[in-house]
Structure 1
Amino acid sequence: MREIVTIQVGDFANFIGSHFWNFQDELLGLASDPESDPVFRNHNLDMDVLYRSGETQQGVSTYTPRLVSVNFKGSLGSMSARGTLYNEGSSSRADSSKTWLGGVETKRSEPRKRNLFLQSLYEEEDKAGKEKAREIEDKDIVGCLDEEVECWTDFSKSHYHPQSLYELSGVWTDSQDFNNYGIGKDVFSEASRGEEICDRLRFFVEECDHIQGIKFIVDDSGGFSAVAADFLETIADEYTNIPVLLYSVRSPMSQMNRGSSKKTVSNKLHDAISFSRLSSFCKLFTPIGLPSLSESKASKYLNLGDEKPYRSSAVYAAALHSSTIPFRTQPTSSDSSEVSNSMDVNTLVQLLTGRGRQNMVAILDSAMPAPSLAGKQLENTLLTDLQSLTPEVNEDVEDNQAIESMCILGALRSEDKEASVSEVTNAVDASYEQATTKTRPLFCNLSVSRCPLPIPLPFPSIFGNLVGRKGEILSSPVSDSLYRGSLDVHSIPIVARWRSSSAILPFLESRMVNLEKLGIQWGAMGSDLVRTWGFGREELQEMRENMSKMVSELKPQFLESSDSD
C-alpha cells in the first residue's frame, strides 16, 4: 500500500479539508450501500491510502483520516480536540491544580451548541422508515447550514483520531489579528508547539508501510504561513525522501479590503516571503485562491458567494479531490472499463517538474460540472470551460513546453448517461487535436475514472438551475430556484488539471519584483518591517535569487538580461 498523510494548517485550509473528507466519507458510504449506483460500489479506489484502521479502548473498530490539522484555539466549535470516537482524556489542568494549596475558582464557557446538521449526525434515535420526516429534516439541515456555518467542524461528517486535531494555544483567536508572516514566525517553536505537532505527524507516518507522500494544505494569507514553513522545514529534515505536495490556499475574503498603503506594502512583502519560504520545502507548489470566484468562469453553472468560506472552499476541495484521485486508484489492466492511468505522488512530481524545465510551481484548473460528450460538445468546451483556480495567471500566452496532468471523473456521454473510459480518452484526444497551438501542451497525462464526485448532504447549495441530478448541463432551467444543493444534485462530473506552464510567470515575477522593490533596495518602504519579522538583507537577497532562478526556468531571456545588467 502507498499511504498519504494529509496536513491542514490554518482556517481556510481546514474548511477545504472538511469538504474533502466529506467527499471521502460519502464515497465510503456509497461503496457499502447495496442500493447505491454500481459506479460507486465499483469505484476502484483504495481508501486505505488516506485512511487508517484502528480500535477504541472498548474494542470498537475505527476508520479515520490519516490527518494532522492545525488551527486556532477554539476553532473546533462544538467538536472535541479528541474527536468523537474515543474517550475524553483526563484534564491536565485539573491535575495541575493539586499543587496549588490556595482557593481555586473554575470558570467555564458555555459549550457551543451543535447545529441541526450535527444534531442529526449524532442522534441516537433510528429514523429508518420515516422517509417523509427525513426528507423534511434534510431540507431544514441544508437550509440552516448556509446561514449558520462558522467553523469548519459545523459541516464535517467525518470522525477524527485524537492525534489529528491540534489547537494552537495563545492569544490569537481571530485571523484578522494573525495576518502577516512576522506575527506567526515564532509560534511553531514556542511553548513546545512544534514538538507536539511533529509528534502527531510521526504517529501517522511511522505506522505507514510505504508512504508515497505528504499532502500539505496551508492557508498562507497570514501568520499560519510562518507556522507551516517551520513545520515543513522540520519535515524536510526528518523525512528527506518523502515528497511533499504543497497547496497554498486563500479565501476570497482574505484578499478583500487590503487597506492603507502601509498595509499594502506589508501584504506584498508577506506574499513574497511566504512563497519563498514555503516553496523551499516541497516538491510541487500549487497556489489556489482567486480574488473572486463569483466573477470567474467557475461560476458559469454555480452560484458562489465570495464572502462565505463554506461556499468557496467547496469548489477548491472538489478540485483537490479530483486531482489526487490517481494517487489512490487501484492499478488495473490497460483495458479497464472503470479507471485508467493510476500514478503515485513522485510520478506526478517527476512529470511536472522533471521534463526539460525545472519548474515546481503548478497551476490547478477545474471544470465543475464538466460538459458532457454529446456530439461535439466536449471537444468545443472542455478546454474553454476549464477555469484556473490559481491567481495571477496569464492565459494569453503560448507555451509549447507546457506539461499537463488531467483527471476526469464521472464524465457523461449525454444527459445522464455515463461515458466509458475509452469514450472519454477519445474525446480528450479530439479536443486537443482541434485546439489552437497556443493551448496545446507538449505532453498531457490523462487519468479517467467513471466514478463521479458525490455530493454529500452538508455540501453548500451552489448549483444553478441548469445543473441536473447527475450534474448534467441542461438546455433549460429545471426550476425557478437559483440555488440547488445536495437534495437536487446527487453527483457531478468534474475535470481537474495540473499545469506546468509559463502562464504562472506573473505570479512569480510579482513576488520577485515586490521583494526587491519593497524589501531589499536601499531605502525600501518595507525594509524596517521585514527586519522586525526577523529577516536580514542577505537572507532577502537569497530569496530573491531563488525566485529569479524560477523565473529564468520559464523565461530564459530573463537570465540573459540579468547577466548583462
Structure 2
Amino acid sequence: MKEIITLQLGNLSNYAATHFWNAQESYFTYSGQDESPIDHNVHWRPGIGADGSETFLPRTVIYDLKGGFGSLRKINALYEAESASDHAASSLWSGRSVVQEQQPIEQSEYQKNLDAGADTSQLTKNKVRYWSDFSRVYYHPKSLVQLYDYELNSTIRPFERYSAGTELFDSLDKEHDIVDRDMRSFVEECDRMQGIQALATLDDAWGGFSTKYLEALRDEYPKTCIWLWGLQSPMLDTPREKRQLRMSNVAQTLASTCASASMVVPLSIPESGLPQDVHIDPQSPWSTGAAFATAIETATMESRMTGRSDAAQNSLWDIVETLNAGGSQNLSKLRMRVAASVAHLEKSGSDMDMFGVGQLFKGMSLTQKTGRRRVFGQLSTHRGAAPDENEIKGENEDPRARRLVGDPILRRFDTPLKFPMLDSFPGIWPGAGKETAVDVQTVLSTETSIGPPIKTLKSLSAWSIPLDERETVANGLSEIADAYQDDWSSGSDEDDDDA
C-alpha cells in the first residue's frame, strides 16, 4: 500500500501537521459520493476501538513539551480509559490515596461543537490557543508522546538551544529505546512502507532532537526514505542575539540531518515581498503553520494519489530521485504560488520563496552575484487543473530513464484536486471567505542558488557554535554547498576557505 509514517517534532510542527491532517480528513468520501482521488491507506491506519468499532487514524507519532497538547487527551472517545475507581481498586496500595490534579485545560468552543456534532463556525486567531484547538481528527493513544523534561514557552528553562535537544534525546533514549518504543509498532503494521516524513523546527532545540532521532531511524531502517520538512519560526522583531542563536541551530541541524535524511526541505515565511493578496500573520503559529501545511501537502501530493497502476504510482523515493540528480544533492528548496482560480494562478507572477536559510536580518539578499541559476532536478505540482496533454516534452519523463550527463531532470504533476479551505483554516490565501478551495502550485528544486546561502550560513554562524563542534559543522556545510556548484561555470565562483 506504500504507507508513509509521519513524525511530528515540536509545537510549530504540530500546528502545521494539524492543518495537514485536517486536509487529509476532508478528502474522505462516503456512500453516494464520488470516489476520493486520495489513497487514504497511505497516511491512515485501520484499527479497532474500545467498543469493537472500526477506526481509521493517522499514521503519526507526535512529540511536544509539557503543556503543548492543550486539551487533547491521550485516551479519546475511541479508546476510553478505565474509570478512576476501577484503577484504584486494582492498586496494590491498600491505604488511603490522595490525588492531586492540575486544573485541566478547557476545550475550545470549536472542539466542543465538533464533539457534539454541531455546526462549527470559522475560526479566528484569538480562539486558537493550542494546535489541538482546531484538530478535526482522533489520534491513536500511541501517537501522543508528551515530554515532561521541559515546559512549553518557559522563560526559566527555555527549550531553545541545539545542545538541549540532543541531550534530551540521549537521556530519553538511554532509558527507553525511543524508536523501538514509539515507532516500531507503526512500522510493523505497514505492508510496504514507502517512507517516513518528519516535521521539525530547525532553529530551536527540536533541531538537535530531530538530528538524533533521524540518526536512530537511519541506523534502524537503513534503506528507508526519510524526508525532513525543516520549519523555521518567523524572526519578527527578534533581537540580533536571538537571531544568531537560531542561525547557529539551523547550521548545526542542517549539517547533521543532511547526512541522515534522504531529502531535507527547509521552509520559512518570507519576511518581505509577500504577494499583496496573501495575509500570513507571522505572530500566529496557526497562520504560519497553515502556510507550511499548504506547501507540504501539495508538494507530496503525487505520493498518495489513486487511479494509477502500482508501477506508475510515484513514491517519496521517486521524488528524491528527481531532485537528487547528482547523488549528493539532498537539500532542496521550495517555491509556492496560491490563487483563487487557475486563471489567476497562471497570471500571478509572485512566488513565495520559502528557503530562507542564511538570512540574519530582514531584506538580506541571498542570490548569487552572477545571477545565474542552473537547475539540477525539479518537480512542479499544479493543483486545480487537469493534466495538460500538450506539456513540454521532457517535463514528465521518468527520472530513472537514461539521460545525458548534466541534463536537468524536470517533472510536472497536475491534479484537479484543489487545496481545501476548511473552517479550521485561517484566511491567509486569496479568495478567503469566498472560496472553499484554492489552486496551488509548488516547485521543489535542487539548483545552484542553494549553494551561496549555505556558505553565508556557515560564515555567519561559525563563531557562535561551540568550538568542539565548529569544524565538524563547517565541513558539513561546505560539503552541502559544494554539491550545488555549477560544474559548467568558468571558475568565477569564489572559494570559501573560512573555518
Matched, 1:281 2:281: no
User: Which secondary structure state, in structure 1, belongs to the residue aligned with residue 412 of structure 2?
Assistant: strand
Count of aligned pairs: 471
Alignment of 1:95-244 (within 5 A): 104-123=97-116, 134=119, 138=120, 141-143=121-123, 145-174=124-153, 177-191=158-172, 195-196=177-178, 198-244=180-226
- Percent identity, aligned pairs only, is 21
State yes or no: 1:540 paired with 2:470: yes
Partner of 2:400: none
Partners of 1:405 and 1:87 lie apart in 2 by: 44
Higher mean displacement: 48-57 or 265-274:
265-274
Partner of 1:400 in structure 2? 374
Aligned residue in 2 for 1:24: 24
Q: Is the 8 A contact 1:352 1:404 kept in 2?
A: yes
- 8 Å contact from structure 2 (residues 179, 217) kept in 1: no
**1:513: which partner in 2?**
459
Contact 2:50-2:78 within 8 A present in 1 as well: no
8 A contact 2:150–2:159 mirrored in 1 = no
2:287 is equivalent to residue 311 of structure 1? yes
The answer on whether the counterparts of 2:265 and 2:332 sit within 8 Å (CA) in structure 1 is yes
Is 1:391 aligned with 2:372? no
Q: Which amino acid aligns with 1:513?
A: S
Q: Is the contact made by 1:369 and 1:492 (CA closer than 8 Å) also made in structure 2?
A: yes
State the 1:409 CA deviation.
1.3
How far does residue 101 in structure 1 lie from its aligned partner after superposition? 8.3
Q: AA paired with 1:226?
A: G
1:450 match: 416
Partner of 2:360: none
Pick closer, same or farther for the CA change 1:463–1:267 going to 2, 3 Å. Answer: closer
User: In proportion to residue count, which structure has more helix?
Assistant: 1
**CA–CA separation in structure 2 for the residues paired with 1:19 and 1:402:** 31
Matched position secondary structure for 2:256? helix
> Residues 202 and 341 of structure 1: is their aligned pair in 2 closer, same or farther, counting only changes over 3 Å?
same
Alignment check: 8 A CA contact 1:407 1:496 kept = yes
Question: Which residue pairs with 1:550 in the alignment?
Answer: 480
**More displaced stretch, 301-310 vs 390-399:** 390-399
Q: What is aligned with 2:447?
A: 501
Contact 2:340 2:437 in 1 (8 A): no
Q: Does 1:63 align with 2:63?
A: no
What is aligned with 1:296? 273
Deviations 1:359-409 (A, max 9, x none): 1110111111265248xx82x54xx33321221453883223432101111
- Is the Cα–Cα contact under 8 Å of residues 424 and 448 in structure 1 kept in the other structure? no
> Does residue 47 of the first structure (1) align with residue 46 of the second (2)?
no
Post-superposition offset of 1:341:
7.2
The answer to whether structure 1 residue 271 and structure 2 residue 250 are counterparts is: yes
Structure exhibiting the larger radius of gyration computed from Cα positions:
1
Q: Which amino acid aligns with 1:451?
A: L
Gaps of 5+ in 1: 36-40, 128-133, 335-339, 412-419, 430-440, 468-483, 519-525, 531-535
Shift of 1:102: 7.8
Give the AA of the match of 1:63.
Answer: F
**Superposition TM-score, scaled by structure 1 size:** 0.76
Question: 1:244–1:284: 8 Å Cα contact kept in structure 2?
Answer: yes
Are the counterparts in 2 of residues 326 and 344 from structure 1 also a CA contact under 8 Å? yes
Structure 2: any 5+ residue segments left out of the alignment?
Answer: 358-365, 396-406
For residues 174 and 561 of structure 1, what CA distance do their matches in structure 2 show?
41
Tell me how far 1:184 sits from its aligned partner: 2.1
Answer yes or no: is the 8 Å Cα contact 2:387–2:413 preserved in 1.
no
Cα RMSD between the aligned structures? 3.3
Letter in 2 for 1:32: Y
Measure the CA separation in 2 of the matches of 1:47 and 1:423.
28
| 1:186 to 1:114, Cα distance in 2 relative to 1, 3 A | same
Once the two structures are overlaid, the 10-residue window that deviates more, 179-188 or 153-162, is: 179-188
